[in-house]
């Protein structure tokens, strides 16, 4: 009964909508036709004409009420969407290709401290940035004007994700930009979704600060323990079993020290103060030297090491030798540790197909990485199950550090692998100085 009543109310509501007006206008017209027919025509013709009129009336009613319902539903959906956008905590701005602001939600008012009535319809130009009140908006619309800008996506691809940071007042914004297609290319518009990440970044920073302070504090005592163990080891009166205890304590201590060093590196990288010093590097000689240093260890482990040299001379790369050494040492170390007895390692250098880049790969015939783990091995602290079973020691920080070092060189790093067959780690480095990022930037948290 209740359902029937609500249907009836809905029907009445639709009948009152403007789209149904043609039907109401048609009814008196039909009545006049019926009356004229009854007076001036014979009954069969009058009946036929009136019937036809009723049919047309029914058609008008059917189409107009259907249009009315569809329009009403569309308006309701639009209103709902508008309410959602208006109550979002992310700022939403829409502007046209001339940077004229077409949409501005309340969150945009609170982030930019500019009211909708001031901004709507205004054509934003870089010169507006000279006005303090407009500066933030200008730097968001033209991100290259912001003090710190980190692009999270490749240029020219949409949606564009950019992180912007401002001092005084401290503000961290993530800006997502996408084109909104209009009916023609002339009506092309852009939407920007802006999230205030200041609190999030500050929490991550204080967590990072804690790790940095704790690591700093730990480094001193752990180094002292190392010295004490070395002194003990040099004691000639030490019996065999005590010596073996001291040796295993020394290696555990070294492992702990290397984890502490890695944690310190991670916090410097994340804060953008690892400190890079780029210079031209003869990459072939550089790699030859590092590979050579691993040969005694490889011999001990029964692993063969090959260096696949390029057939043509290679251009120089622009790199920070000390940091690049960390990357290659980590890849070589992993290729040794996760290899099998009698396994092989092949290091290859070549001009990348994607010019102007150089590609270095380190291939091993070891335990490999499952497809699921392959997606995660460059994340902080991640260690795959098979690796943890095979080699208990390891921090899961090496590849995270390596990938970030390569990123700061303007290159890329990735891996391919087959479980129980082996892995290949690739990295690229630019041979054109222009592709090396000019400034070290804090990492996305």
Residue 41 in tokens: 């025509």
CB of 251 to ligand ADP, least distance (A): 15
* Cα–Cα distance, 230 to 238 (Å, whole number): 12
Identify the residue among 163, 270, 359, 364 touching ligand ADP (CB under 6 A).
364
Extract the runs of DSSP E, i.e. beta strands, from 137-208.
148-151, 160-166, 171-180, 189-196
Q: Judged by CB under 6 A, which stretch of 11-19, 195-203, 291-299, 364-372 contacts ligand ADP?
A: 364-372
Helix axis angle for 2-15 and 43-87, nearest 10°, is 100
CB of 297 to ligand ADP, least distance (A): 15
Binding mask 136-155 vs ligand ADP (x if CB under 6 A, - otherwise)?
A: --------------------
Contacts 24+ apart (CB under 8 A), 18-21: 18/68, 19/64, 19/65, 19/67, 19/68, 19/71, 20/61, 20/64, 20/65, 20/68, 21/64
Q: Which is nearer to ligand ADP, 101 or 369 (CB)?
A: 369
Contact 192, 140 (CB under 8 A): yes
Contact 365, 343 (CB under 8 A): yes
Q: Which is nearer to ligand ADP, 195 or 337 (CB)?
A: 337
Binding mask 382-401 vs ligand ADP (x if CB under 6 A, - otherwise)?
A: xxx--x------xxxxxxx-
Q: Which is nearer to ligand ADP, 109 or 255 (CB)?
A: 255
Exposed/middle/buried for residue 226 (C-beta within 10 Å: 0-12, 13-18, 19+): middle
Identify the residue among 104, 112, 338, 426 touching ligand ADP (CB under 6 A).
338
CB of 213 to ligand ADP, least distance (A): 23
Q: Judged by CB under 6 A, which stretch of 67-75, 101-109, 284-292, 365-373 contacts ligand ADP?
A: 365-373
Binding of residue 377 to ligand ADP (CB under 6 A): yes
Paired strand residues for 196:
173
Identify the residue among 367, 427, 429, 436 touching ligand ADP (CB under 6 A).
367
Q: Which is nearer to ligand ADP, 60 or 335 (CB)?
A: 335
Q: Judged by CB under 6 A, which stretch of 71-79, 95-103, 216-224, 359-367 contacts ligand ADP?
A: 359-367
Identify the residue among 50, 177, 267, 330 touching ligand ADP (CB under 6 A).
330
* Cα–Cα distance, 397 to 379 (Å, whole number): 8
* Cα–Cα distance, 269 to 442 (Å, whole number): 7
Q: Judged by CB under 6 A, which stretch of 177-185, 273-281, 352-360, 366-374 contacts ligand ADP?
A: 366-374
* Cα–Cα distance, 198 to 296 (Å, whole number): 50
Q: Which is nearer to ligand ADP, 176 or 424 (CB)?
A: 424
Q: What is the DSSP letter of 444?
A: P
Q: Judged by CB under 6 A, which stretch of 181-189, 202-210, 248-256, 363-371 contacts ligand ADP?
A: 363-371
Q: Which is nearer to ligand ADP, 161 or 326 (CB)?
A: 326
Q: Judged by CB under 6 A, which stretch of 96-104, 170-178, 248-256, 328-336 contacts ligand ADP?
A: 328-336
CB of 305 to ligand ADP, least distance (A): 13
Number of chain residues interacting with ligand ADP (CB under 6 A):
22
Please give the C-alpha separations between residue 126 and each of 24, 130, 133, 137, in angstroms, as whole numbers. Answer: 56, 8, 13, 10
Contact 402, 326 (CB under 8 A): yes
Residues sharing a CB contact under 8 Å with residue 361, sequence separation 6 or more, in sequence order: 346, 347, 348, 424, 425, 426, 427
Binding of residue 407 to ligand ADP (CB under 6 A): no
Question: In the range 171-210, which residues lie near ligand ADP by CB under 6 A?
Answer: none
Q: Which is nearer to ligand ADP, 37 or 422 (CB)?
A: 422
In sequence order, which ranges of 234-282 are alpha helices (DSSP H)? 240-271
Binding of residue 281 to ligand ADP (CB under 6 A): no
Contact 226, 250 (CB under 8 A): yes
Residue 316 in tokens: 């120089």
Binding of residue 369 to ligand ADP (CB under 6 A): yes
* Cα–Cα distance, 167 to 328 (Å, whole number): 36
Identify the residue among 108, 229, 335, 406 touching ligand ADP (CB under 6 A).
335
Question: In the range 64-83, which residues lie near ligand ADP by CB under 6 A?
Answer: none
Residues contributing to the site for ligand ADP (CB under 6 A): 330, 334-335, 338, 364, 366-369, 377, 382-384, 387, 394-400, 423
């Amino acid at each position: 009964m209740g359902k029937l009543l609500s249907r009836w109310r809905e029907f009445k509501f639709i009948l009152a909508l403007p789209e149904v007006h043609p039907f109401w206008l048609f009814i008196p017209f039909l009545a006049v036709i019926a009356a004229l027919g009854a007076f001036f025509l014979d009954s069969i013709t009058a009946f036929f004409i009136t019937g036809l009129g009723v049919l047309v009336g029914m058609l008008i009613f059917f189409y107009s009420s259907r249009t009315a319902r569809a329009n009403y539903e569309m308006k309701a959906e639009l209103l709902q969407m508008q309410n959602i956008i208006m109550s979002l905590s992310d700022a939403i701005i829409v502007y046209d290709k001339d940077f004229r602001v077409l949409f501005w939600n309340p969150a945009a008012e609170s982030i930019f401290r500019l009211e909708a009535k001031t901004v709507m319809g205004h054509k934003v130009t870089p010169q507006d940035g000279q006005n303090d009140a407009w500066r933030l908006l200008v730097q968001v619309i033209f991100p290259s004007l912001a003090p710190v800008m980190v692009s999270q996506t490749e240029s020219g691809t949409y949606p564009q994700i950019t992180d912007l940071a401002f001092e005084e007042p401290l503000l961290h914004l993530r800006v997502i930009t996408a084109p909104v297609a209009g009916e023609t290319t002339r009506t092309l518009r852009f939407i920007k979704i802006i999230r205030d990440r200041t609190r999030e970044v500050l929490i991550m920073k204080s967590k990072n600060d804690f790790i940095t302070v704790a690591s700093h504090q730990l480094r001193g005592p752990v180094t002292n323990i190392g010295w004490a163990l070395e002194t003990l080891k040099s004691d000639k009166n030490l019996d065999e079993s005590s010596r073996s205890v001291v040796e295993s304590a020394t290696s555990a201590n070294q492992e702990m020290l290397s984890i502490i060093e890695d944690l310190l590196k991670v916090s410097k990288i994340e804060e953008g103060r690892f400190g890079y010093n780029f210079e031209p590097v003869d990459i072939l000689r550089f790699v030859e030297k590092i590979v050579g240093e691993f040969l005694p260890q490889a011999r001990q482990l029964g692993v063969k090491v090959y260096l696949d040299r390029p057939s043509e001379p290679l251009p120089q790369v622009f790199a920070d030798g000390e940091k690049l050494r960390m990357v290659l040492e980590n890849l070589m170390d992993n290729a040794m540790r996760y290899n099998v007895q009698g396994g092989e390692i092949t290091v290859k250098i070549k001009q990348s197909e994607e010019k102007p880049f150089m590609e270095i790969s380190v291939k091993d015939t070891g335990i490999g990485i499952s497809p699921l783990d392959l997606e995660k091995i460059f994340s902080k602290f991640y260690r795959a199950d098979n690796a943890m079973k095979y080699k208990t020691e390891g921090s899961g920080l090496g590849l995270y550090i390596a990938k970030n070092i390569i990123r700061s060189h303007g290159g890329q790093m990735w891996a391919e692998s087959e479980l129980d067959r082996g892995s290949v780690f690739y990295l690229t480095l630019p041979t054109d100085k222009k592709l090396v990022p000019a400034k070290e930037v804090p990492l996305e948290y």
